[in-house]
Structure 1
Amino acid sequence: MDGECLCGGVKFKIEGNIPNLYQCHCSLCRKATGSSANAATFVEQENFRWVSGQDKISSFQKPTGYRSDFCSVCGSPVPNQIRGMELLWVPAGLMEESFKAAVTVHLHMGSAASWERDAGECISFDAGPESLAALKNAINRT
């Protein structure tokens, strides 16, 4: 399985099956992704290989130990090694191909954003709406 950041500058490869995913809804993950949660998995170091772009990776670490690695060109979060373990944290959205893993765990639901709700209650489009006006109308529908 191949993975890469938004600009394609950081690339990696994972051998074998992708493990199931988790979503973390804590405030740190919301801020790091700009979304309601991050979706990620852990991959054994022996099954992970950088292809290119390691020189483009920057890191941010809080005094508490929370670490975020990202592409310094496009800002995409990128895999990073878990402290003291032979595991890498891998953001699911970087995968280039479809895979069979599913989200099986939700973390920190007690601190999930108040505006987050089940997608089943939302208006859905198979692709982007035909216009920005259509999106605005869908967003403003109550």
Structure 2
Amino acid sequence: MLNGGCYCGAVRFEVDDAFLYAFYCHCSRCRRRTGAACAAIGGIEIDKVRIAEGRDQLLKVDESEDGYRCLCKRCFSPMVDVIREHRFAHVQLGTLSGAPARRPDHHIYVGSKAAWHSITDALPQFEELPP
């Protein structure tokens, strides 16, 4: 079990340490959402993510039939994206207090990565999504 939460501590969540996949995303949307060169994301079934504190402090944005993004209403930290018809979640790995067993093992959207950022590891890189 891993614990996570927002910057101000108003929202806390638990997630099973059972990520199906993990990656670094370099798309321009993730850069703008996180303010970083890329986002570190872990994918998991939605029923393995539980809000422990601050459910009333969750702000759902970009809602659609497919899913939504969860931010803290107070500090606006991005935490979890509910995706694929509300069946899966993309957890921002930087919100976790511990290290997940599954680490990011590839980079996506490197075709649009920040010009000032160099990828220095040997992980596979994909211009967009893996085949």
Query: What is the TM-score with the length of structure 1 in the denominator?
Result: 0.72
Pairs within 5 Å for 1:1-142: 1-61=2-62, 67-118=68-119
Aligned partners of 1:16 and 1:118: how far apart in 2?
26
Larger Rg: 1
Q: What is the CA distance between 1:20 and its match in structure 2?
A: 4.0
Closer, same or farther: CA 26–72 of 1 in aligned 2, 3 Å? same
| Structure 2 unmatched ranges of 5 or more | 122-131
Structure with greater strand percent? 2
For these two proteins, the number of residue pairs brought into alignment is 119
How large is the Cα RMSD of the aligned pairs? 2.3
Amino acid at match of 1:24: C
Q: Residue type of the partner of 1:49?
A: R
Q: Give structure 1 stretches of 5+ with no counterpart.
A: 121-142
Contact 2:68–2:82 at 8 Å: present in 1 too? no
TM-score normalised per structure 2: 0.78
Q: Is the 8 A contact 1:32 1:68 kept in 2?
A: no
Aligned identity (percent) is: 27
CA distance in 2, matches of 1:16, 1:103: 13
* Higher share of residues assigned helix: 1
Deviates more, 1:27-36 or 1:79-88: 79-88
